[in-house]
Amino acid sequence: MARRFQALPVKLTNGSSHHGHSKAAAASPKPKLAFLVSCAVKVAVLAAVLHAYQFIDRLHLYMRLALYGVHIYCFFDLLLPCIAAIGGALGMEMEPQFDRPYLASSLRDFWGATVEPRGVRHPPAVGVRPRTTVRALPGKEAAAMATFLVSGLMHEAMVYYITLRSPTGEMTAFFLLHGACCVAEQLGERWWMGRGWPRPPRHVATLLVVVFVTGSILAVLSANLQGRI
């Protein structure tokens, strides 16, 4: 039974562990209250976005992109906990898919702990020794770029199935841009820390990440979306 779920971002739990987890959740009402408040805020934001869709033709393209982005994030951030609750009733614990990406202090943090599911570990490539892979820095950089390339191609296919229009390559370009920037960020951080310079304040780093992600979306994706939304 457990082997069927190894490829999924879920964990099988037994009755005792699930019961203990329920006791711990009941003993700490603050996280539960914060979760309910967060859900209420997201529902209110979704209602405001749906109301704004009535005036979608009057809005600038960038404003429409912002509305769609907020809509997608709030929708999935509400849907996935509901699916996780159903899985919990069936004895499964679903790994969180989002962890407040708007608070990421680096691109690697944005694409790592905040967006990608936790607990998912990809097995090493067949015939490649992990020790050699870890120590070969160019290999790690190439692996990161390959990961973003595959993600971009998958998003191209997803957009094709949704819109039934020929791929433009912009999704792939967007993910390759972020992959290259993640690699450059890591090298730059190593160079910066090697000189003993202090890290920038977290709120400044978070603001820079938000500006870069938003700017790259508008710069790379907005041109082709002009006639689609």
Q: Are residues 105 and 70 in the same domain?
A: no
Domain ranges, residue 108:
99-117+129-229
Q: Which helix (H) or strand (E) holds 10?
A: strand 10-12
Domain annotation covers residue 124: no
pLDDT for position 95: 67
Domain annotation covers residue 167: yes
Model-level pTM? 0.68
Q: Are residues 136 and 210 in the same domain?
A: yes
Angle, nearest 10°, between helix axes 170-194 and 202-225? 160
pLDDT for position 1: 45
Overall domain count for the chain: 2
pLDDT for position 96: 66
Q: Are residues 46 and 93 in the same domain?
A: yes
Q: Are residues 113 and 225 in the same domain?
A: yes
pLDDT for position 25: 44
- The alpha carbon torsion through 123, 127, 133, 138 (nearest 10 deg) reads -110
Q: Are residues 109 and 79 in the same domain?
A: no
pLDDT for position 208: 93
pLDDT for position 178: 92
Domain annotation covers residue 196: yes
Q: Are residues 145 and 162 in the same domain?
A: yes
Q: For residue 117, what is the DSSP state?
A: P
Domain annotation covers residue 94: yes
Q: Are residues 110 and 215 in the same domain?
A: yes
Helices (H), the chain: 15-27, 29-52, 61-89, 107-111, 130-135, 137-163, 170-194, 202-225
Q: Are residues 32 and 111 in the same domain?
A: no
pLDDT for position 55: 87
pLDDT for position 209: 92
Altogether, the residues listed in the chain come to a count of: 229
All residue ranges of the chain with pLDDT < 50 are 1-9, 15-27, 117-136
Q: Are residues 71 and 111 in the same domain?
A: no
